[in-house]
Amino acid sequence: MSIELNTNDGHVTITNDVISTIAGGAAVECYGIVGMASKSQIRDGIAEILRKENFSKGVVVRQENDKLHIDMYIIVSYGTKISEVAHNVQSQVKYTLSQSLGLSIDSVNIYIQGVRVAKD
C-alpha cells in the first residue's frame, strides 16, 4: 500500500516503507529510546533491537478513510518515565513526517516491547 499525491508538478507515490523508515529514524532520536523492536519478534520475553535498515519491521502504517495511522514498537531505557518517552515519540514522529513528507498523521500508537538497562 502507498500514498498517492497529485501536485502541480506531477504525481508522487510514497510507499509505506519510506514512511516507516522516516518514522523509525525520528523515534530513535528521542531521549529514552534504546531502539525499535519488531512487532512480531516477542518470543520468550526477549525483544531484539532492529538496525537502521530494518526500522520498517517495527513500524506499521495503516491507511483508513484517507487518515494515516502509525503503530510503533519500541524499546525504552530503564529509569525513564515511559509515558513521557511515548508522548515525545508521538510528537516527534508527527512533526518529522509533516515536515519531510507533508503528511498529516491522525494517530501514532506506541507499543513498548521492552525495557533495557544502559551499559556503562
Euclidean distance between CA atoms 60 and 103, whole angstroms = 16
Q: What is the pLDDT of residues 50-103, one digit of tens each?
A: 666 677 778 899 888 878 899 999 989 998 999 999 999 999 999 999 999 888
Find out whether 58 and 74 touch, Cβ atoms under 8 Å: yes
Q: Give 34-52 pLDDT, tens digit per residue.
A: 888 877 765 545 566 766 6
The whole-model pTM stands at 0.81
Pairing of strands 2-7, 10-15: antiparallel
